[in-house]
C-alpha cells in the first residue's frame, strides 16, 4: 500500500489538472483525495487574466470504494486523519454501495455550511444564512442581519476571505468542483453593479475624449467583470497591466491601438 | 480568539489533532502562535500565502468587533 503518495499538477481547468494526475498515478478518481490549491482563472477576452488550475492529488491510505463503504469502515486501524474525517462526513449522506454525485454535493454543501456557520458565529455575527444553487450549479450563501457588516470588512476583504475558505472546505469533500459564492447583505451584488457602472462610464469618456484611461487596481474577478462588460463595446479595447496587487485595467480607444498582453512578462 | 482560529483552521488540515495554538496578550494586541504537523504547512499557508491571508482576514474581523489587533504567526 503506497502511503502518502501525492502529486501536484496543473492544467487549464481543475478537471484537466486532476485528469493529468490520475494518468500519472495510474489510479481512478475514487482512489484519491483531491485538493484544489488554485482553482485558476480561465481568463476573459483574449485570455486576459488566465491562470492555470493547480491541484494536489493524494492516494488514499486505504482505498474505499463505494461498494465497501459500510459500518466497518470505522473499525479501520491506523487511518490517517483525513480518511477518518472524510468517512465521518459521509456517514449521513452515503448509503451502502451507492454514491451519486448529487449525494457528494449534498455532503459537501452540509459540511461547508456547518463550517461557515461556525466561523461566522465565532467572529460574533449572528445573521441569517440563506443558500441556494444557481443555474450554473454554483452554491450561493447569502448572509443578512444587522450585525453582518463585520463579515464584509474593508473593501470586502473579510467577505473574500470567507468565500475563499468556504470554497476550500466545500471541495475537500467532493470530487467534482463545487463553486461557492458568498455575499453579505447584498454587498457583492452591489459592488458588481458599481464596477459595471464604472466600466460603462469610463468607456463613454474614452469615446468622447479619444484618450485611454486607467482604472483603479482590481482583483482578478473584478477585472474579469470589466473585460466582459466592455467586450461588446464598439470602439473600445480593454487590457490589464501591472502586477498584483496593483494590476489594473486600461480602457482605450480601439483605433490604432495595439493590444499588448503583458501577462507573459 | 483561540477557539475561532481552531474552528477556521482545523478543517483545512490532514492532521487536525496536531494543531497547537498559543495565545498571548500585550495590551490591545493579541498574538496567536500556530503550530501544525509539518505535512500540513502547505495546507495552512496555501499557494502564495493565500490561505494564511484568508485566515488572518477572518481573525481580523473578530479583532475589529472585540477592539483588539490580532497577529497570527504560523510557526515552523
Q: With an 8 Å Cβ cutoff, is B46 touching chain A?
A: yes
Residues A28 and A43 in one domain: yes
Q: Residue B28 in contact with residue B67, Cβ under 8 Å?
A: yes
Q: Which three cell numbers, joined as nine digits, stand for A121?
A: 458565529
Note whether A165 contacts B50, CB cutoff 8 Å.
no
Q: Cα(A229)–Cα(A225) distance, rounded to whole angstroms?
A: 6
Closest CA in chain B for residue A121 = B4
A75 preceded by a cis bond (ω within 30 of 0): no
Q: Please list every residue in chain A whose beta carbon sits closer than 8 Å to the beta carbon of residue B72.
A: none
**Which residue in A197, A192, A140 sits closest to A170, CA to CA?**
A140
Residue A98, in any domain of the structure: no
Residues A113 and A127 in one domain: yes
A98 confidence band (pLDDT: 50, 70, 90): very low
**Does the pLDDT of residue A102 top 90, yes or no?**
no
Q: With an 8 Å Cβ cutoff, is A89 touching chain B?
A: no
- Measured in angstroms, the CA of B7 and the nearest CA of chain A are apart by 6
A101 confidence band (pLDDT: 50, 70, 90): low
**Which residue in B27, B28, B4, B20 sits closest to B73, CA to CA?**
B20
Q: Which three cell numbers, joined as nine digits, stand for A123?
A: 467572529
CATH of the domain at A123: 3.30.300.20
Note whether B55 contacts A161, CB cutoff 8 Å.
yes
| Number of neighbouring beta carbons within 10 Å of residue A245 | 9
**Which residue in A18, A49, A50, A19 sits closest to A34, CA to CA?**
A18
User: What is the reported pLDDT for A190?
Assistant: 94
Helix A220-230 × helix A187-209 angle, to 10°: 50
Among the ranges given (A4-18, A103-117, A213-227, B26-40), the one the predictor scored with the smallest mean pLDDT: A4-18
Residues A47 and A118 in one domain: no
pLDDT digits (tens, 9 = 90+) for B17-61: 999 999 999 999 999 999 999 999 999 999 999 999 999 999 999
Residue A100, in any domain of the structure: no
For residue A249, count CB atoms less than 10 angstroms from its CB and return exposed for 0-12, middle for 13-18, buried for 19 or more.
buried
Residue A193, in any domain of the structure: yes
The range of the structural domain enclosing residue A83 comes to 6-93
Residues A236 and A200 in one domain: yes
Residues A115 and A164 in one domain: yes
Domain boundary among A152, A185, A218: A185
Q: Helix H segments across A210-258?
A: 220-230
3-state helix, strand, coil in chain A (%, to 5): 45, 20, 35
Residues A82 and A13 in one domain: yes
**Which residue in A216, A130, A116 sits closest to A164, CA to CA?**
A116
The total number of structural domains in chain A stands at 3
User: What is the reported pLDDT for A93?
Assistant: 39
**Which residue in A153, A165, A166 sits closest to B64, CA to CA?**
A153
Identify which has the larger pLDDT, A6 or A2. A6
Residues A127 and A152 in one domain: yes
Of A80, A119, A153, the CB nearest to B14: A80
Note whether A153 contacts B60, CB cutoff 8 Å.
yes
C-alpha distances in angstroms, B2 versus A75, A242, B7, B34? 32, 38, 9, 10
Q: Please list every residue in chain A whose beta carbon sits closer than 8 Å to the beta carbon of residue B66.
A: 124
A55 confidence band (pLDDT: 50, 70, 90): confident
Closest CA in chain B for residue A54 = B47
Residues A214 and A247 in one domain: yes
Residues A18 and A71 in one domain: yes
Q: Which three cell numbers, joined as nine digits, stand for A106?
A: 449534498
Kindly give, in sequence order, each residue whose CB lies less than 8 Å from that of residue A68, ignoring residues fewer than 6 positions away. none
Residues A196 and A163 in one domain: no
**Does the pLDDT of residue A174 top 90, yes or no?**
no
A155 confidence band (pLDDT: 50, 70, 90): confident
**Does the pLDDT of residue A103 top 90, yes or no?**
no
Domain boundary among A93, A127, A154: A93
Q: Please list every residue in chain B whose beta carbon sits closer than 8 Å to the beta carbon of residue A160.
A: 54, 57
Residues A126 and A166 in one domain: yes
Domain boundary among A185, A217, A245: A185
Closest CA in chain B for residue A84 = B14
Of A115, A123, A157, the CB nearest to B65: A123
Q: Cα(A175)–Cα(A94) distance, rounded to whole angstroms?
A: 14
Residue A146, in any domain of the structure: yes
Most A CBs within 10 Å: which of B42, B45, B54, B60, as the mutation test of the A interface?
A: B54
Q: With an 8 Å Cβ cutoff, is A257 touching chain B?
A: no
**Which residue in A163, A223, A162, A168 sits closest to A54, CA to CA?**
A168
**Which residue in A255, A258, A260, A259 sits closest to A210, CA to CA?**
A255
Among the ranges given (A57-71, A190-204, A212-226, A236-250), the one the predictor scored with the smallest mean pLDDT: A57-71
User: What is the reported pLDDT for B51?
Assistant: 96
A61 confidence band (pLDDT: 50, 70, 90): low
> What's the alpha-carbon Rg for chain B, to the nearest Å?
12
Note whether B8 contacts A122, CB cutoff 8 Å.
yes
- Measured in angstroms, the CA of B12 and the nearest CA of chain A are apart by 7
Query: What mean pLDDT value characterizes chain A?
Result: 76
Q: With an 8 Å Cβ cutoff, is B7 touching chain A?
A: yes
Residue A260, in any domain of the structure: no
**Does the pLDDT of residue A128 top 70, yes or no?**
yes
Residue A137, in any domain of the structure: yes
Q: Cα(A105)–Cα(A142) distance, rounded to whole angstroms?
A: 18
Amino acid at each position: 500500500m503506497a502511503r502518502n503518495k501525492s502529486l501536484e499538477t496543473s492544467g487549464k481547468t481543475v478537471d484537466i489538472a486532476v485528469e493529468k494526475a490520475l494518468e500519472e498515478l495510474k489510479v481512478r478518481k475514487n482512489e484519491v483525495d483531491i485538493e484544489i490549491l488554485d482553482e485558476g482563472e480561465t481568463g476573459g477576452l483574449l485570455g486576459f487574466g488566465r491562470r492555470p488550475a493547480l491541484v494536489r492529488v493524494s492516494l488514499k491510505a486505504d482505498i474505499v470504494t463505494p461498494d465497501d463503504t459500510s459500518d466497518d469502515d470505522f473499525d479501520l486501524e491506523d487511518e490517517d486523519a483525513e480518511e477518518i474525517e472524510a468517512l465521518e462526513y459521509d456517514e449521513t449522506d452515503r448509503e451502502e454501495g451507492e454514491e451519486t454525485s448529487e449525494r457528494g454535493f449534498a455532503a459537501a454543501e452540509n459540511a461547508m455550511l456547518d463550517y461557515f456557520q461556525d466561523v461566522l458565529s465565532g467572529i460574533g455575527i449572528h445573521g441569517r444564512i440563506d443558500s441556494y444553487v444557481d443555474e450554473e450549479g454554483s452554491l450561493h450563501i447569502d448572509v443578512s442581519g444587522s450585525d453582518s457588516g463585520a463579515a464584509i470588512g474593508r473593501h470586502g476583504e473579510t467577505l473574500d476571505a470567507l468565500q475563499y475558505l468556504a470554497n476550500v472546505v466545500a471541495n475537500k469533500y467532493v470530487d467534482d468542483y463545487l463553486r461557492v459564492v458568498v455575499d453579505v447583505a447584498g454587498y457583492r451584488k452591489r459592488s458588481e453593479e458599481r464596477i459595471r457602472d464604472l466600466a460603462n462610464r469610463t468607456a463613454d469618456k474614452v469615446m468622447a475624449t479619444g484618450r485611454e484611461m486607467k482604472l483603479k487596481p482590481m482583483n482578478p474577478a473584478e477585472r474579469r467583470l470589466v473585460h466582459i462588460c466592455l467586450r461588446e463595446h464598439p470602439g473600445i479595447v480593454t487590457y490589464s497591466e501591472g502586477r498584483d496587487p496593483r494590476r489594473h485595467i486600461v480602457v482605450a480607444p480601439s483605433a490604432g491601438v495595439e493590444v499588448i498582453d503583458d501577462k507573459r512578462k | 480568539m483561540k477557539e475561532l482560529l481552531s474552528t477556521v483552521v482545523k478543517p483545512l488540515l490532514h492532521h487536525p489533532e496536531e494543531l497547537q495554538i498559543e495565545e498571548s496578550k500585550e495590551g490591545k494586541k493579541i498574538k496567536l502562535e500556530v503550530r501544525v504537523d509539518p505535512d500540513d504547512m502547505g495546507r495552512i499557508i496555501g499557494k502564495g500565502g493565500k490561505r494564511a491571508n484568508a485566515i488572518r482576514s477572518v481573525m481580523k474581523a473578530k479583532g475589529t468587533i472585540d477592539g483588539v489587533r490580532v497577529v497570527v504567526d504560523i510557526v515552523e
